[in-house]
Amino acid sequence: MVIAVSRFEVVVCGGGVAGVEGLLRLRRLAGDCLQLTLVSPDPDLSYRPLAVAEPFGMPGARRYPLERIVADVGARWVRDRLVSVDVASRTVRTEHDVTLPYDALLIAVGARESTPYEHAYTFTDHNADNYFHGIVRDLQRGTIQSLAFVLPREWLWPLPAYELALMTAERAQSLNRTPRITFITYEGRPLQAFGQAAGEMIVRLLTGYGIDLHTGAVARVPAPGVVNAGDLQLETDRIVTLPKITGPAIHGIPAGTRWCVPIDERSVVPSTEGRVFAAGDATDFPIKHGGIGTQQADTAAAGIAHLAGFADRPPGLRPVVRGIVLTGGQPLYASAHVVAGLGWQSQLYEQPPWPPEKKIVAEELGPYLAQLDLSGAAA
């Protein structure tokens, strides 16, 4: 089945934070002059950055119905999954064999997640309250005497592991429990993406809770409860890690490092006639963070508006990472930006320089979701 259109047709594939941010920005930039179509198999936008708090009995992930979002934006929703792109004919094909023509395409389908270790629990924001809640419960009962958090040498966003370790230690301390907690990371310093100041802050927090930190260590987990990292040979009751990330490997789209979609500084995918853009975890940008994804989506939307004749050509993206670090106590706020393309310069705040309830800072999505929260649309 082929769906035909007449106006400048923009197809956005992916109903996560990057895809919805792109939809919202496109509508603001070009009004009703674009025909917008969202392709996503999921019924909801799942806003998951606070999922790490769920096992500790705090509010976590929230869901917003895509039906409401596309209606507010004035877009069409094809509840389906992207399978392939034909650059020559400017069409996309879905899992259910729907063909959609496009004048511009934004790919924001996310990445694939898999476990890096057979014998470790892999924490993701999709299953936040399932297994780790059991760890918290066993910690409260005193049946866990030791726990290791292991960050592999993979593409991932490491912050949740540090937050889990800190909140676990705080919970144990509040219960007068003294489990041995070990943190092992491949990074030369903790939270390397945030620069030196953030790394030093995390070291102070970990040390304050008595967490044993090992940096620059490539770990192996050869058996349940066993971690080997250089000279460190550790036996522990539980091992927690984060998923490794690989790209979606979309047929017809170039595959870059680890099968991710390569993009330039304007979020344009090479060899696609300048009409295919990508944003979020699907791209080959090495830092996987929702805030980076929304910035890429905004850059892509500006480029699409330029293609359609409604805006000037946008400048290249200069990404800024902003994050809230949940510590079990008072949260901290960190931001980092690239300096001369060589490294990251970070700043730390005790008071939130952005809306404190939003862990992902997004220019369009943040205010929009706040309105949905007020209207009671979230679940």
34 backbone φψ class: left, alpha, beta (φ>0; ψ -120 to 50): beta
Co-location of 28 and 66 in the same domain: yes
Co-location of 211 and 163 in the same domain: yes
* Domains identified in the chain, total number: 2
* Residue 191: CATH number of its domain: 3.50.50.60
Co-location of 29 and 138 in the same domain: no
349 lies in a domain?
no
Residue with tokens 């079990």: 328
Co-location of 59 and 106 in the same domain: yes
DSSP-derived 3-state class of residue 50: coil
Query: pLDDT tens, 306-337?
Result: 999 998 999 999 888 887 888 878 888 888 77
Percent of the chain residues past pLDDT 90, beyond the cut = 61
pLDDT exceeds cutoff 60 at 2: no
Co-location of 181 and 264 in the same domain: no
Co-location of 238 and 122 in the same domain: yes
Query: pLDDT tens, 141-193?
Result: 999 999 999 999 887 788 899 999 999 999 999 999 999 999 999 999 888 87
Q: Is 280 exposed, middle or buried (0-12, 13-18, 19+ CB in 10 A)?
A: buried
Percent of the chain residues past pLDDT 70, beyond the cut = 94
Predicted local confidence at residue 53, as pLDDT: 83
378 lies in a domain?
no
Please state the φ and ψ torsions of residue 307, each to the nearest 5 degrees: -60, -40
Between 274 and 341, the higher pLDDT residue:
274
Predicted local confidence at residue 4, as pLDDT: 39
Co-location of 132 and 221 in the same domain: yes
pLDDT exceeds cutoff 90 at 194: no
Co-location of 85 and 128 in the same domain: no
Region 32-44: mean pLDDT is 95
Range of the domain at 226: 115-243
Co-location of 101 and 137 in the same domain: no
330 lies in a domain?
no
Q: Is 134 exposed, middle or buried (0-12, 13-18, 19+ CB in 10 A)?
A: middle
Between 157 and 138, the higher pLDDT residue:
138
293 lies in a domain?
yes
Predicted local confidence at residue 138, as pLDDT: 92
238 lies in a domain?
yes
pLDDT exceeds cutoff 70 at 1: no
81 lies in a domain?
yes
What is the Cβ-side half-sphere exposure of residue 91, based on CA atoms within 13 angstroms? 13
- 8 A C-beta contact, residue 60 and residue 167: no
DSSP-derived 3-state class of residue 70: helix
Q: What tokens were used for 270?
A: 């090479």
Cα–Cα distance, 179 to 154 (Å, whole number): 28
Q: Is 32 exposed, middle or buried (0-12, 13-18, 19+ CB in 10 A)?
A: exposed
Angle between helices 66-73 and 17-30 (to 10 degrees): 20
Which H or E run contains 69?
helix 66-73
Q: What distances in angstroms separate CA 299 from CA 45, 282, 288, one per listed residue?
A: 21, 15, 17
Cα–Cα distance, 19 to 297 (Å, whole number): 7
357 lies in a domain?
no
Q: Where a domain ends, among 193, 225, 243?
A: 243
Predicted local confidence at residue 356, as pLDDT: 60
Q: Where a domain ends, among 317, 335, 357?
A: 317
Cα–Cα distance, 348 to 112 (Å, whole number): 31
How many C-beta neighbours within 10 Å does residue 378 have? 16
DSSP-derived 3-state class of residue 113: strand
Q: What tokens were used for 195?
A: 């620069």
Co-location of 270 and 187 in the same domain: no
Predicted local confidence at residue 212, as pLDDT: 97
Residue with tokens 């800072």: 361
Cα–Cα distance, 80 to 106 (Å, whole number): 15
Co-location of 167 and 231 in the same domain: yes
pLDDT class of 288 with cuts at 50, 70, 90 = confident
Task: Output DSSP code: residue 215.
Answer: -
**Weakest mean pLDDT among 143-152, 198-207, 352-361:** 352-361
DSSP-derived 3-state class of residue 46: strand
pLDDT class of 129 with cuts at 50, 70, 90 = low
Cα–Cα distance, 168 to 135 (Å, whole number): 9
Cα–Cα distance, 18 to 49 (Å, whole number): 13
Query: Partners of 76 in the beta sheet?
Result: 37
214 lies in a domain?
yes
Co-location of 158 and 91 in the same domain: no
